[in-house]
Structure 1
Amino acid sequence: MKFLRKSIQIVLLCVSIPNAFAQLGFCNGNSGDPIFIETFGEGTNNVALPLGTTTYTYANSAPNDGFYTVSSTTNWYGWHNTLDHTPNDTNGRSLIVNADFTAGEFFRQTINGLCENTSYEFSSWLLNLLPSSGCGGSGIPINVKFQIWDITDTNLLASGDTGNIAGTPNAIWEQFGLTFQTLPAQTSVILKMINNGVGGCGNDLAIDDIVFKTCGDNIVIEDSQSNATIMVCENDTPFATQLTANPDFSIYTTHAYQWQESTDNTIWVDIVGETYQSYITPNINTTTYYRVKVAEDAVNLANPQCSSLSEVFEIRVIEVPEAPISNGNIENCGNDTQSVSVTVPADVIVNWYDAPSGGNLLLSESDSYPTNVAGTYYAEAVTSNGNCVSNNRTAVSIVFYPVPVVVDEELTFCEGEDITLYANVQNMTYLWSTGDVISQTTVNTSGIYTVIVTNGNGCSATKTITLTQIDNPVIGSVESEGTDIIISTANTGDFEYSLDGINYQLNPVFNTIEGGLYTIYVRERSGCGVASIEYLHFWVPKFFTPNGDTENDTFNLKGIEFYNHSEVYIFDRYGRLLISSKNSPFAWDGTFKNQPLPMSDYWYVINIDGQELKGHFTLKR
C-alpha cells in the first residue's frame, strides 16, 4: 500500500555527529526541509505495511507477540491508551509492534533520491506502550537498534541503540536519531529497525514520524554589526544592508550558496544570481526574510535533498506608532498626587516629556504619569521592537483646584436654648446634615453636625461641629449642719453658689451662717441658667455670753419666727421654767425675774411645726 508522505517541522536536539557506528545523535548543524516523512497516515481502520517492510505478521486488531498493526488506537492488553505522535492528526495512526520471542528486524524502509557524499539525519519517535505498573511492575523494556545501510545492503553507514526504555506511568513519546553520509555514486539507503529484546510480558512499542533530512553546517547569517535580526522603523526606509553567511565547517569542507528571500517566512524564492557568501539587499520598505541554501557542490543546490538551509535573517520594518490616545485631562480638587494617562497598543511603550517636542524626559515606559504639579504633559509612543517613535506627542493636562478651607469646631449651648451653627466660609454652596442649604443652621439638640462646603469649581470640604449641651443647674437639697449650710445639686456641672444672688462662691458649703430665711442660688458659670430655692436655716446656739459687750449677749433663735408654729421653753438644771415663747421671735438675755442667772447649763424644749428639739446650752459670764 502507499503511505502518506507529508512535510512537517520537527524540532531536533543538537548533539555531536556520530561516525558510521556511533550511538544515536542528531545533526548539530542546519538541516534542510524533510525529504522523507512516514506518519503512517490517518483513519480509524487498521492497515498493513507494504510487502517487504516487515518480517512480523499483520493483525487487524490486537497484535500478539510477533505481530504488528498500523492503527489509530493502542487500547489493548492494558497498554497506554494514547494518540499518535504526529501533530494535528485526526485519528492519526502509528506502527504498533508486539515483540517476537526472537530478537530481530521488524521494520525496513528504502529511502531514494539522495545525493552522493552528502550528510543526512534520520529520526523517529518511539513509545513504550506498557505502563510501568504492567506485568506486576517487571515488564520487559523496549530496546531498538536503528541501522542505515547502503542500497546494496552490504555497507553499514550508521547504527545506534536506544538502550532499555522502561515503562512510564503516562504515555511518553521519545525521539531518537542518527546521522550518516552517503557514499560516492550512492543515492539510496536502507533504514532498518531491529528489536534487541524478546517478546513476552512487555517489549510492546509504537513508532511514528520517521523523518530524513539533509544535515549541513550550522550557518548563521549576520550583517556587518553581527546582528542576526534587524528592526527598521518605516520612516527610516528604504533600507539596505549587506548580509554574510557564516558556516561553522562542522559538516562541509566547501560551500556553494544560493540566497533566498520571503515575505512571510513560509514561501521562499531563490534570488537570481546571488550565489556568493555575502549578499547586498535591495532597498527594503516592508518586512523581508532572508536565508541561504548551502551545499558542498553547486550542482547540489538545485536538489533540496542534497542541500541544507541556514538560519533565517529577518529585516523587520516596524510601523511608526500612532500618538497615544489620551484618557482625558484631569481636573482635581486639592494637590494630592494624580496621574494623567494614555492608551497605546500592547507592543508600544510610553515616554513622558514636558514639551511637545524635545524637552526633558520625565518618565519612561509607563502609560501614566503621577504628579501633584499642575500643567500639560506630553506622551510619546515608542514601539517595543525597533524603538520607533510616534511622529507626534499627545498632550494631557492636569489642573489642581483649591479646596475650601474649613475648621472643625466643638461648641456648647445652654439647655433649652437654640444655637446657630456657621460654616464660616463665604461665597460657597452649603449642605448641612440638618438639610439646610445656607451658610448657617439653627439647632437645639446636642450631637455631631456637618456641612459640605462646595466652591465654584465643584471642590468640596466637610466641616464637622461637635455640639454639647450644658445643663441648667438643678438644686437637689439644702441642709443645715450646725451653723453651716450645705447645698447639693441633682446634676453635675460647672456651678457656683450664693445666698444673696450677688456674691457667689465655688464651694457649695457656707460656713457659720446665722439662722434665718435665705434664698439659695446655684448658677452655671458660663451663663447657662440659675436655680434658686428659699431655705430656712435654723440652729440652736451652744452657748451665749450676756456680759454687755454686745456680742452674743442673748440666746437668740434666729429664724424661728418664720415657722408656722413654734414654742420655746427654757429650764434650769432643776427643771424650773425660766422663760417660754410661742409663735414669735425668741431672744433671752439670761435673766429670771429681771435678775441675772448664774453661769451654768440650761435646757431647752423647742417645738417647730410638730417637731420637738431638746438639748442644753451654756450661759457664760
Structure 2
Amino acid sequence: ITASSPQQNVNLIWFDSATATTPIFTGSSFTTPVLTSGQSYFVQAVLGDCVSEKVKVDVAVNPSPDAPAITVNPASKQIAAGQTATLTASSATPGTTFRYYPQATGGLPLFEGATLTTPALSDNTTFYVEAVSASGCVSVNRTPVTITVTPVFSTTCDFASTQTNAIDNLCIGCTISNAENVVDADVSNFARYTIPLGLSGGSITQRLIFADQGVVGDTVQILVHVPNAVLTAQVLNGLQLTSYNGTTSNNDQVNASTNLSGFQVLNGGDQALLKFAPQAPFNAIELQLNAGAASTLTTLNVFYATKQIALPQLVQRATTVCAGGNAVFTVANPRADVTYDWFDAASGGNLLYTGTTFTTPNLTQSATYYVQSKRTSSGCENPSRVAAVVSVTPTPPVAVLTQNNLTVCAGESVNLSVNNAGNYLVKWFDAATNGNLLFTGNNYQTAALQNSTHFYAELVNGNCAGSARADAAITVNPRPAMPQFTNDNVTVCSGSAASLSISNPENQVSYEWFTAATGGNAVFTGINFTTPAITQNTAYYVQAKSTTGNCLNNGDRAVVNVTVANAISQPVLSQTQSSVCSGGTVTISVVNPSSALTYNWYTAATGGTIAYTGTSFTIKNLTADASYYVEASNGAGCISSSRKATLVTVLPAPAQPEVQSAGLMACEGSVTTLKIQNPQADQVYKWYNAATGNNAVFTGNEFTTPVLSANSTYYVEASSSQNCNPSGRLAVNITVNALPTAPGLAAATVIVCAGDKATFSVSSPAAGVTYRWFDSPAKTNKLFEGSTFVTSLLTANTDFYADAVSASGCVSSGITVARAEVAAAPAAPLLTNQLVTVCAGSQVTLSVSNPQQNLTYRWYSAVNGGNAVFTGINFTTPAISQNTVFYVEANRNGSCGSARSAANISVNTAPKAPVVSAQGITVCAGNTTTLTATTDANATIKWYGQASGGTELYTGTSFTTPVLTANTTYYAAAVSSNNCVSATRTPVNVNVGTKLTAPFVSVKAVTTKTITFGWNAVNGAAGYEVSIDNGKTFTATGTGNAGLSYTVSGLTPAQNVTLIVRAKGASECQTSANSQSITGTTSNPIGNTVWVPNAFTPNGDGANETVNVYGNTIKTLNFNIYSHWGELLFNSTSTAAGWDGTYKGKLQPVGVYVYYVEAVTNDGETVKLKGTINLLR
C-alpha cells in the first residue's frame, strides 16, 4: 500500500487500528503481512510534533478456492508406455479454472483448462493441478496425480531366448506346459506351471537363458500371472529366483514375496512384473515354484524375462528458462556400460547428443527432448524414451517511463511510473545493472531526495527480466539554509522604524520579507530590511529562495518580532502573602508577564542586589519568614515605577497519614475508593499519582480513582489547613485484576427445528473463568453456569445472553448474545430424472426440478445418515459402473432437512475394447493395408485417427487405410446396440517401412576349418541375409540374436572367405544396402611348415596307402622320391598326389627310400627338404 503527502519532509506512519499508538511501519510503501481475511490499516503524516488525521485503507481478501479434485481416464491411472491418459479437474468453488504443472510448486503451467490429455508417456509421471478462482486467487496446494506406466520391452535383444526346465520326483502330478513360450518373441503367450492343491513337497524349475552376458547393475523383469487372484507379493510366497553364470549358481536366491528389488502389480490386479537384480555377472535366471510353501498358489503363468536396460532417470524432468536461454538435463542413474542418446522426438527423430548431460540450444519457445538408454556393448536399446520438458518464458520489453527527466527541490519525493507495464511486474532499482531492489509496482513514490540521482525500472515476467532497465534521471536542487537574524527580537519606540538583517546570507539566494507566516505578498526582497514606522508590536517573516530551481528553505518562514516600548506598570504577583513549611520551597510568579520585559527580584524595597531575574522566583529551604520585591524593565532600560512586595510565612509540617486496607484491589476498567484512616479535621489530605511533584489529583479524606486498567500506585500527604508544607507521602498500591474476555461462541446463531433444543458452546473456554447464561441482557435471571449451555425445548426464536466471571470476581465488560432460530423442515425435493439409464463408466447429471431460494440441496449415497457426496441443485455423479441410487434432501440453514428423494441409475454394460489382428503391421510407402478387429457380439467397430475424440473414419470390422507415406496409428472403438462405447480405443500402429541401416560386419571367430562373422543388431530388422559370392546370391541367417552371426565351414587352414550382409525388414522396401564386404581367413597354426611322413604302408587296407607332402601354405611344389641307388621313382607337383609305393606299375620292395622336396609358400618363401621314407607292408 503506497501513501504520499504534498508536504515536504513528512514521515508516513502506519497503524493497524484507528486508536493504535504503536506504529507497525514507517515509510511511504507498506507491505502487509500474509492476510487470510479483510483488514483495515491507518496511515498518519508526521512533521515534527505535528500530526495529521489518520486515513483508513481497507484491504479486501478474496478466499482461496478449494484444491481441485481429479478424475483420470483410465480410472486405474495405469497405461502402457507410449499411451496417453486424460485428466479432468473439478472444484467445489464456482467459476474456477485449472492449471497443470510438472512440479509441486513454482514453474510454468504445462496446460490451462479443465481436461488435459497427456503426451505419450514412457515412465511413471506425476502431474500437479491447482485451481484459480475468478478473482485470481490460487488454491493453497496443488493436487498431485501419478500416472503409472507399464514398460514396453524390445524382444529383439536382452530377452531370454532359450530355456531348460525340470520337475523333481517329489512333485507328483506337477506339470509345466508350453515351456518354450517364455523364450519366443511373442510376449502375449506364456508357459504354465501347475502344482496339485495340497501337495506337500517338490518343485518345478525353469532356467531362462540370455544370448549375451548380464552384468551387475542389470535388473531382470519377469511378467507373471496368477489366474483368478488379486496378485500380491504374499501370493507368490512359494516362488524363488536365482541367477546363474553358465551352469554355476551365483547363490543369490531370493523369495518373490519378500526380497525382490521391485514388484509392480499391473492393470487388472492379476499380473505383475517381478524385478530381480543379480549381484554377480549372469546369463540365466532360474524360477523355482515350490509345493507346500506355495499354499493356494497352484497355477502360475510366466510370459517372458528381460534384462532390458533401465530407463534413464533425470535429475529434473521439467524446467523453465527465459527466452534465449538454454536448459541442462542430467541423467540421475548413469551406468558405465550404458549409452544415453538424446532426440527431438518421442520416437524416431534426430539424434541430438550422446552423453549423460545434455545442454539444449538457446530456446525461444518451449520444447520437449527425449533421452533413450542403450547398452553400449550390444547396442540394445530400451524402446521407451523419457521426456525432458523445457518451458520458455517470454522476455518482456524494456520499460517505457511516463517521465524520465525530472527536477525537484531537496527533501521532495517524486512519483515514477511505467507506460507499458501491461501484465508484467515492474521492479525499481538504484543501478542500471544489479543494485538494490527499491520497490515493486507500477507507481513508485520515492523517499524524500537530498541529492541528484537515477532510478531504473525493469519489466519482469516470472524470473525473466527485460534486456535493459529504463533510466529515470532526477535532478535535485539544494534548498537554502533557514534565514537567521542579527537580532530575533527588536524593541523600538512607538513611531520608529526597525532595522532587520539576515546574519547568514548565501550567494544565488534571495530573501523575501512578509507580514504573514504563510501566504501574502513580499513587502521587501533583500538581506537588510528597514521597516516603515511602527506604532504597535509587529512580526516580520522571511523566507530564502534559491535563484536555481526556486527552492525554498526547509521549514516555515523565519520570524523576527519588533516590540514597541511603552510605560512599564508595577508587576502583579501570583501571591503577596504565602505560607510554607520549615525547610520548604515557595514559588512566586509574575501574573501575565510580558516577554519584552525583564523581571528582577530583590530582598529590599529599594536598592540592594538582584537576587534573581525571571518571571517565576523559587525560594528554597525556607526556615524563617521573609519578604521579597520585584520590578520590571525593558531593553531600552525602562523599569516599573516601584517594586511589588511579597511576604512568605514559614509553618510546621504535619504527620504522615494512614490509609484503610479496603479498596486496595479492583477489577480492570473499574474504580476504587481509598480512605484516610482516622482523618484529622484541621488537616488537608492531597492525593498524587507520583511520589514527587505538586500536581495533586484529588484533595479530601476519600479518593475515588479514575477507571483502572493496570496495577497502580497513588500517594497521599497531609498538610495543615493553612496549606502548610505537607507531611511525607504515603504510597498506596492498588492491585488491578484483569477482566475476562466476553465469551466467544462456536456459533452465535443456532438454527433448530421446532420442538428441539439448541446447544451453545464457548469456543475457547479459559481456565478459572465461570461462564453465566441469562434470559435477558439485564442478567436478572441466571439460567446456567458453564461453557456449554443446552436450552429447553424451543418453539420460537429466542435470545440468550452470556458473560464471563474471573476467579477474582471480575466480570467481562461485554455480554455475548446467543440466538436460537426455530425453522420448519422443508418439503422433499422433486427430481427432473428419477430413473436414468447410462453406459458403464459414464457420468450422470441429476437435477432438482423445483429448487427454492434459501434452501441447500445435499446429495447422499444412503437413504438415511451418511455424509453428503455433493451440495448443489445439479449433481454430476462420478463414473457409474453398476446400478446405483443417489438421494437428495432440501436443507434450510444447515440444520433442518427434508425427507430424501431417490434417483435410480441403471447401467448398461459397455462392450470390451476391440481386439485387432494386425498390431504393428509394416507396409511400404505409397501402399494401403487392411486392419481387422473383433469385439462382443452385436457391437459395431468404429475406426478413428485419435485415441479420443476426433472424426469417425470408418464403421465395420475391416478397415482399409488410405495410401500411407508415414507411420500412422489408428484406433478401434466398440459401440454396443444401446450406444455404449468401449472404455478405451485399441491402437493399431501401422509402420511405413524405410530402408534399414546396413549392418557393420566383423570377423568374430576363426578355426582351421571355419570362419564366424558377426554384426550389430539393426533397429527394425526382422532378419538378415548373407552372400559369399559378392552379392550374386543371398542366404537367410535367422531372426533375433540367432540371426546376428554366420559361420562358413568346410574350409582349410589359411583359406579366405569374403562376406556381405544385408538387413531385411517386415517388407521388401526396408531391405538395407549391402554392408561393406569383409574377408576372414581360417587359422593356420603350423604357419609355413612343410613336412613328409617318415613311413607309410601301401598294403591295401585303406590306411596310409600313400606318402604325400603336407603344408597349409604351399603355392608350388616339386616332390621327388629316389631308390637307394638314386633312381627317380616318383615325381609330384601337388600335395594331393602322393606315392603309392609302385614304380611303372610294379610294387616296390620294403625298404628305405630317399625324398627331396622343393616348395614355394603363399608369401614367397622357398622351403627345401631332404629325408628318408620307410616303405612297410
TM-score range, shorter chain: 0.3 to 0.5
The structure with the larger Rg is 1
Larger RCO: Structure 1 or Structure 2 (Cα < 8 Å, ≥ 6 residues apart)?
1
